[in-house]
Amino acid sequence: MATTHETPVLIVGAGPVGLGLAADLGWRGIDCMVVEQGDGTIVHPRANTVNSRTMEFCRRWGIAEQVRQAGTPPDFPSNIVYATTLQGYELARIDRPTYGGHKPLPTTPERSQRCNQLFFDPILRELAGSFPSVTLRYRCRFESFAETQDGVLATVRDLATDKTETIAARFLVACCGGQSAIPKSLGIRMEGAAAISYHLNVFLKIPELWNHHDKGKAAFYFFVNRDGDGSSLIELDGRELWRLGLDCGPTRIAPEKLDIAATVRRLLGPNVPYEAISVLPWTCRSIVADRWRGGPVLLAGDAVHQHGPTGGFGMNTGMGDAVDVAWKLAACLDGWGGAGLLDSYQIERRPVAQRIVREATDNMEYEFDPAMRAVLEDATPEGEAARRRMREEIVTNRTRVFVSDGIVLGYRYDPSPIVWNDGTPPPRDSISTYVPTARPGSRAPHAWVADGKSTLDLFGKGFLLLAFDGAAADANALKRAAASRDTPLRVVAIDDPAIAALYQRRLVLVRPDGHVAWRGDAAPADPQAVIDVARGVSARPAANAQGAADAAAVR
């Protein structure tokens, strides 16, 4: 007979999203079990960018410094170079001063880092495994599930013994990536394009490549030439590991058909010594699931959204899903969260993913004029003119691909049923620009409250009510309302006019994920209603819900 285990939360998949979710649940003291079919070995490098929002999560979990140390060294440039080939003409350069190192930025306590999944996933694994409430099971394949009265009964196979086991869980979270069968089993449809283009990535070892060309050290080299504009070379460790990306367009090319030597010769140079470690074929998609939940089953990460890697959003979006769903699961399991919390997960995260998938797809589909490309490598006045025009086009149109603070920090949960709209218009942020705001639904903005301590360091465990300008006494009503429902809420008084001006109201209620739930200048008329909406127990009054829809439409 199959062994049966029990866990409140069963997570399928120990990619970054499953591990991030397990870590956040573990950090909150919630029991969970992760089943992963692999043994944890990462054979090919994928995500490279750990953006500043994901770094903020890492800061919360106490691993930000570890990520900084494990990734590309802080003095390695994060700039982007466009060239015809590594030995050919340089076309343009885009600087990313907000990447890497320790220097503070005004909008976030954490800079984006370059830390490939080769190094990032093991850090997350170690973190998740360090919590006593988290069980990690590698070489354990999820096979199927059935919904029960209390949640799900899942069947898994221990790949070491080839024996099946059942796991009874209150919730199942599918973090099993783009090949997951779980969405199909729930009748979930993927909306969008299932295949935009086919690609091959070649994982290379080239020690000190910069000694073999004149373009200097860069994080990315993009190659635009008469053959196309879809090849790139990406630095992975600042020493010797690189990933050469090749766009095969509409044709799927088998890895064994690729002439690696000829490709390296053409793009990197005839005399560059290299070792090819592996080749990964992948398909560029542009899809978002129509539903992110089926009863006790929730889905996160690549299981519900996939797009091209340009911009470095995929994993980071999945980490945002994990952090959004984690506190909601924890609240439900701790007994103070209502059914509305889990309903709000898709309402909050799906529009964020749709915006990102749209942007990433536009980035992937961008094409340079083939007539201009055809002469770029020519040592003629016509070639020179084309290179000049190309430079202007790259700087004007491609900078947003690599500087995307509006996406990274400016995402908002406008339509959320657990956020109190305050009637103010949203700031006009863009893809590249983030405008800090404490408008409900937004990420509560960063400011330094003390040496090395950010406002963000105050958030996480339970709700936090920030009281500015002597408003601590007005905070009591909300504090009492939360206590009457066993909902964790702390009040922190901040006596700093600059931070008060940034938050714009005397009282600001911040959720456990660091997003603003409500704000006002005085205690609300019905403090219980504010708390009950924020913890997903009651619906917002109709007038407030309409206001949120109007504000969302402004976007």
Ligand X SMILES: Cc1cc2nc3c(=O)[nH]c(=O)nc-3n(C[C@H](O)[C@H](O)[C@H](O)COP(=O)(O)OP(=O)(O)OC[C@H]3O[C@@H](n4cnc5c(N)ncnc54)[C@H](O)[C@@H]3O)c2cc1C
Query: How many chain residues are in contact with ligand X, going by CB under 6 A?
Result: 32
Q: Is 176 in the site for ligand X (CB under 6 A)?
A: yes
Under the binding rule (CB under 6 A), the answer on residue 318 touching ligand X is yes
Contacts of 230 (CB under 8 A, 6+ apart): 197, 199, 245, 246, 247, 249
Nearest-approach distance from CB 294 to ligand X, in angstroms:
16
Closer by beta carbon to ligand X, 12 or else 81: 12
45-74: contacts with ligand X (CB under 6 A)? 46-49
Q: What are phi and psi of 32, to 5 degrees?
A: -155, 160
Helix (H) or strand (E) holding 123: helix 117-129
- Retrieve residue 208's tokens: 């000190």
Tokens found for residue 256 = 């064994």
**CB nearer ligand X, residue 313 or residue 468:** 313
- Give, as one character, the DSSP assignment of residue 106: S
177 interacts with ligand X by CB under 6 A:
yes
Stretch of 264-272, 313-321, 423-431, 441-449 contacting ligand X, by CB under 6 A: 313-321
298 scored as a contact of ligand X (CB under 6 A): no
Window contacting ligand X (CB under 6 A); options: 43-51, 333-341, 350-358, 488-496: 43-51
Which residue of this chain has its Cβ atom nearest to ligand X in the complex?
15
**Closer to ligand X at the Cβ: 84 or 116?**
116
CA 40 → CA 13, 31, 46, 121, distances in Å? 10, 21, 14, 9
Does residue number 12 form part of the binding site for ligand X (CB under 6 A)? yes
When asked if residue 402 is in the footprint of ligand X (CB under 6 A), the reply is no
For residue 5, give every residue at least 6 positions away whose Cβ sits within 8 Å of its Cβ, in sequence order, or none. Answer: 33, 165, 166, 167, 168
**What's the token pair of residue 155?**
């069947």
User: Closest approach of Cβ 267 to ligand X, in Å?
Assistant: 17
Name which position in 5, 31, 38, 539 contacts ligand X (CB under 6 A).
38
Q: Minimum Å distance from CB 497 to ligand X? A: 37
Look-up of token digits 């994080």 = 219
Minimum distance of ligand X from residue 116's CB (angstroms): 8
- Of 167 and 531, the one with the shorter C-beta distance to ligand X is 167
Is the Cβ of residue 219 or residue 331 nearer to ligand X in the bound state? 219
* Single residue of 7, 8, 13, 333 touching ligand X by CB under 6 A: 13
Task: Provide the minimum distance between the beta carbon of 129 and ligand X in the complex, in angstroms, as a whole number.
Answer: 15
Strand-pairing partners, residue 9, are 32, 171
**For residues 332 and 70, what is the distance between their CA atoms, to the nearest angstrom?**
35
Spell out the long-range contacts of 270-276 with Cβ–Cβ below 8 A and sequence spacing 24 or more: 271/212, 272/86, 272/206, 272/209, 272/212, 272/213, 273/206, 273/212, 274/204, 274/205, 274/206, 275/204, 275/205, 275/206, 276/202, 276/203, 276/204
Q: Which of residues 198-227 bind ligand X (CB under 6 A)?
A: 201
**Does residue 267 bind ligand X (CB under 6 A)?**
no
Q: Does 18 bind ligand X (CB under 6 A)?
A: yes
Residue with tokens 């992110």: 292
**Residue that has been written with the tokens 């089943």 in this structure:** 35
301 is a site residue for ligand X (CB under 6 A): yes
Specify the stretch interacting with ligand X by CB under 6 A; choose among 96-104, 207-215, 314-322, 343-351.
314-322
> Is the CB of 40 or the CB of 423 nearer to ligand X?
40
Q: Are 164 and 2 in contact (CB under 8 A)?
A: yes
- Least separation in angstroms between CB 142 and ligand X: 4
Q: If we measure between CA atoms, which residue out of 83, 45, 118 comes closest to residue 218?
A: 83
- The neighbouring-strand residues paired with 83 are 90, 223
- Stretches 311-319, 392-400, 413-421, 486-494: which one binds ligand X (CB under 6 A)? 311-319
User: Which residue shows structure tokens 């749209």?
Assistant: 358
314 is a contact residue toward ligand X (CB under 6 A): yes
Tell which one of 52, 84, 316, 437 touches ligand X (CB under 6 A): 316
What single-letter amino acid sits at 183? P
Contact 442, 459 (CB under 8 A): no
Under the binding rule (CB under 6 A), the answer on residue 100 touching ligand X is: no
| Angle separating helix axes 117-129 and 16-27, nearest 10 degrees | 30
Nearer to ligand X, 202 or 472 (CB): 202
Nearer CB in complex with ligand X: 154/529: 154
Does 469 bind ligand X (CB under 6 A)? Our answer is: no
- Of residues 117-146, those binding ligand X (CB under 6 A): 141-142
Looking at the Cβ atoms of 176 and 209, the one nearer to ligand X is 176
User: Could you tell me the two tokens for 160?
Assistant: 């070491």
Beta-bridged to residue 155, according to DSSP, are 144, 166
Q: Judged by CB under 6 A, does residue 175 bind ligand X?
A: yes
One residue of 8, 16, 71, 441 binding ligand X per CB under 6 A = 16
Single out the segment in contact with ligand X by CB under 6 A; choices: 33-41, 437-445, 491-499, 511-519: 33-41
* Secondary structure (DSSP) of 449-504: EETTEEGGGG-BSBEEEEEETTGGGGGHHHHHHHHTTT--EEEEEE--HHHHHHH-
DSSP string covering 412-434: B-TT-TTS---SPPPP---SS--
- Residues near ligand X (CB under 6 A): 12-18, 35-38, 46-49, 141-142, 175-177, 180, 201, 282, 301-302, 309, 312-316, 318
